[in-house]
A and B are shown apart, each in its own frame.
Chain A
Amino acid sequence: MTLLDFVNFHVVPGLVLGSIYALGAIGVTLVFGVMRFAHLAHGDLATLGAFVALGVVRFAGVGPWQALPVAMLVAAAVAIGADRLFYEHLRKRPLILTVIASLGVALMLRSLVQVGFGVDPQSYVRGLVRPDVFFGIRVREREVLTVLTAFGLVAALGAFLAYTRWGKAMRAMSDNPDLARLSGVDTRVVTALTWGVVGALAAAAGFFLGLNTELRSMMGWQMLLPMFAAAILGGVGRVEGALLGGLVVGLVEETSVIFLPAQYKSATAFVILLAMLAVRPTGLLRGKVL
């Protein structure tokens, strides 16, 4: 195998998949950081976002990129709504109850998608897209845009967390919730804001997965494991860690097919997860929560 083949068949798809995992893992890590629980509905929130975009494409007749912001807004609203309806009143109970409730939300969201769109695979646009070639590297426009948009979203989130009043409040609440409350931070606002960001990023992850492969009602659920692996790999509670973790898991999955039968691709995320939990549960960038 030449180096060019390696780049074309493993690095490019790995970066694309890694960017998608990164968007999902950042949501996982934010929920863990601010709310302190593992959000099992995260994958299905991504599925919902992907299919909302499909609905907009079908009914409004616009291109998938125009549908993305709509999907992000809808998923943000759904995430905030799920918190209000199903998680908020469990806040003072043991956290495992919220985790189980999120599993229920996952099943509900998936069922909604299946009722609306059926269970057959679908796609945003029909027909094959031929890749462009740059110096022998074959990439499709949508792959470049996926990686660029994912990084753009992460950079925007990073700037929001670093420089804005409510971004700092979010970090403060993730860092020390009691002290944030004593400082006069309205935790309900921070909670709603977190869910909004998490929902929007999940929708983007689902959209990009659908754009680069196809839309299936189980797509998000199957992405849950690699997203959690990426979040733990990077250090739970750290946004930059989740980005790194997502890219690593994506690249490892896509290069694993050199050594392993392709059916085992998704098992590699599981191996990463187990290895990290056994060796360094705080993650590469020393997480704040675990």
Chain B
Amino acid sequence: MNPGMTLLSMERVTGGYGDADILHEVDLKVEKGEIVVVVGPNGAGKSTAMKAVFGLVRVRRGHIWFDGSPVAGWTPDRIVRRGVCYVPQVDNVFRDMTVHENLEMGAFIRRGDLSAAFDKVYGLFPDLVSKRREAAGRLSGGQRQMVAMGRALMLDPKLLLLDEPTAGLSPKYMERIFEIVRDVRAAGVSILLVEQHAKQALAFADRGYVLAAGRNRRDGTGGALLADPEIARLFLGG
């Protein structure tokens, strides 16, 4: 691939929380316009790898490049301004604030007219339009996940980081969320996705990474990983 098309690149990243390293020389790339999925067993460091991109993990060695800038060690708000938005797995909405206010908070660092951003997000999540005046904490799990993604999309990011957006959702909502992920990509946003539902996610991902015990185990196109018998046996539940 053309190196000019690379949006995010982690190179031999080692780091974690406090003194303990969770990631060991992890390599990961997202090209412009890609959906990249990170899968692996519990405790593999999937979420930690994502948080490292967003400055929430201490990176001890290695480099993280985003859109030409070395972002390792940056604070989250600086990375947000550069065009990366992150949706945590849990506690990802302001429960007592309305849906509309949640979206507004997503664009907190941006001044001026937000109506175009609101239109875009409500266009992606039509289910939210009728709920705009409701407190986000009163919505169903799937709708709350949409609010969380919508909040992150208000800044028009280049890269969206999604940490297990389908955790705890019914299969129906999982399909809906995956559909939205594809819509978001179609709107020009690259996506790095950490998923427990590995098979379903790899089925629509451009590429995937398998992490285990904080190290790269395998990477390739979604289809190639799904077809790999060893990966299937070890990580995808047969």
- Asked if residues A182 and B93 are in contact (CB atoms below 8 Å), the reply is no
- Asked if residues B76 and A181 are in contact (CB atoms below 8 Å), the reply is yes
Q: Which of B40-94 contact A (CB under 8 A)?
A: 54, 76-77, 80-81, 86, 88, 91-94
The interface size of chain A toward B, counting residues with CB under 8 Å, comes to: 17
- Asked if residues B95 and A185 are in contact (CB atoms below 8 Å), the reply is no
| C-alpha gap A183/B152 in the complex (Å) | 8
Name the A residues within 8 Å of B222 (CB-CB): none
- Asked if residues A184 and B91 are in contact (CB atoms below 8 Å), the reply is no
- Asked if residues A182 and B80 are in contact (CB atoms below 8 Å), the reply is yes
- Asked if residues B94 and A181 are in contact (CB atoms below 8 Å), the reply is no
- Asked if residues A184 and B81 are in contact (CB atoms below 8 Å), the reply is yes
**Most chain A CB atoms below 10 A, which of B54, B91, B94:** B94
Task: Indicate whether B101 reaches chain A with its CB closer than 8 angstroms.
Answer: yes
**Most chain B CB atoms below 10 A, which of A168, A180, A182:** A182
Contact of A178 among B80, B88, B109, B151 (CB under 8 A): B88
Contact of B97 among A172, A182, A185, A186 (CB under 8 A): A172
**Most chain A CB atoms below 10 A, which of B94, B105, B109:** B105
Given contacts A168-B101, A288-B96, contact A179 B108 (CB under 8 A): no
Name the B residues within 8 Å of A185 (CB-CB): 105, 108
Task: Indicate whether A110 reaches chain B with its CB closer than 8 angstroms.
Answer: no
Name the A residues within 8 Å of B97 (CB-CB): 168, 171-172, 175
- Asked if residues A179 and B91 are in contact (CB atoms below 8 Å), the reply is yes
Task: Indicate whether B25 reaches chain A with its CB closer than 8 angstroms.
Answer: no
- Asked if residues A172 and B80 are in contact (CB atoms below 8 Å), the reply is no
Task: Indicate whether B106 reaches chain A with its CB closer than 8 angstroms.
Answer: yes
Distance (whole angstroms) from the CB of A244 to the closest CB of chain B: 17
Name the B residues within 8 Å of A66 (CB-CB): none
The interface size of chain B toward A, counting residues with CB under 8 Å, comes to: 21
Distance (whole angstroms) from the CB of A191 to the closest CB of chain B: 15
Closest residue to A173 on the B side, CB-wise?
A: B94
| C-alpha gap A210/B46 in the complex (Å) | 60
Task: Indicate whether A273 reaches chain B with its CB closer than 8 angstroms.
Answer: no
| C-alpha gap A182/B89 in the complex (Å) | 13
Name the A residues within 8 Å of B106 (CB-CB): 183
| C-alpha gap A214/B111 in the complex (Å) | 48
Given contacts A168-B97, A172-B97, A175-B96, contact A184 B88 (CB under 8 A): no
Name the B residues within 8 Å of A165 (CB-CB): 108
- Asked if residues A171 and B76 are in contact (CB atoms below 8 Å), the reply is no
| C-alpha gap A168/B106 in the complex (Å) | 12
Name the B residues within 8 Å of A172 (CB-CB): 94, 97, 105, 108
- Asked if residues A179 and B88 are in contact (CB atoms below 8 Å), the reply is yes
Name the B residues within 8 Å of A169 (CB-CB): 105, 108
| C-alpha gap A86/B93 in the complex (Å) | 32
- Asked if residues A176 and B95 are in contact (CB atoms below 8 Å), the reply is yes
Contact of A176 among B76, B80, B86, B93 (CB under 8 A): B93
Distance (whole angstroms) from the CB of A166 to the closest CB of chain B: 10
Known: A176-B95, A181-B77, A184-B81. 7 other contacts (CB 8 A): A168-B105, A171-B96, A171-B101, A182-B80, A183-B105, A183-B106, A184-B76
Q: What are 24 A-B contacts with C-beta separation under 8 Å?
A: A165-B108, A168-B104, A169-B108, A171-B96, A171-B101, A172-B94, A172-B97, A172-B108, A175-B95, A176-B91, A176-B94, A176-B95, A178-B91, A179-B105, A181-B77, A182-B54, A182-B76, A182-B80, A182-B88, A183-B106, A183-B109, A184-B80, A185-B108, A186-B77
Q: Which residues of B contact A (CB under 8 A)?
A: 54, 76-77, 80-81, 86, 88, 91-97, 101, 104-106, 108-109, 151
Q: Closest 10 CB pairs between A and B?
A: A184-B109, A175-B94, A184-B77, A183-B108, A175-B96, A183-B105, A172-B105, A184-B80, A184-B108, A172-B94
Q: Which residues of A contact B (CB under 8 A)?
A: 165, 168-169, 171-172, 175-176, 178-186, 288
